[in-house]
Amino acid sequence: MFHPGHHELHGVTVVVETAGPLTYVGRFDTEDEAGVHLLDVGVHDAATGGTREDFVRRSARFGVRSDRKHLVVPLAEVARITPLGAMES
């Protein structure tokens, strides 16, 4: 466990994919009834240009460009959560 006493993903930079056009990359903080809490979050909207894959690849290569300090993704919108480090190479 990365941070003992916390959610197993606490402090880990993750990619949160949704069923819609939005993808988030940020540090997982916690999960509660409101949703998944992320910190220092980069947001990608496939509807406004660029692919999700390019966004994730760029984040892995150059780091996460933070658009939001704190963001909550409702659980109903979450399709998949993957550590960014596991999506490289």
Instruction: Give the range of 5-13, 31-39, 44-52, 70-78 binding other proteins by CB under 8 A.
Output: 5-13
**Complex with other proteins: residue 28 or 73, whichever CB lies closer:** 28
Strand partners, 22: 45
Compose the 48-87 pattern: x for residues touching other proteins by CB under 8 A, - for all others: ------------x-xxxxx----------------xxx--
DSSP string spanning 35-82?
EEEEEEEEEEEGGGSS-HHHHHHHHHHH----SEEEEEE-GGGEEEEE
Nearer to other proteins, 8 or 33 (CB): 8
Q: Which residues pair with 35 in a beta bridge?
A: 32
Tell me the number of residues near other proteins by CB under 8 A.
Answer: 15
Helix (H, G, I), strand (E, B) or coil at 59: helix
Structure tokens at 24: 């988030």
- Residues in contact with other proteins by CB under 8 A are 2-3, 11-13, 60, 62-66, 83-85, 88
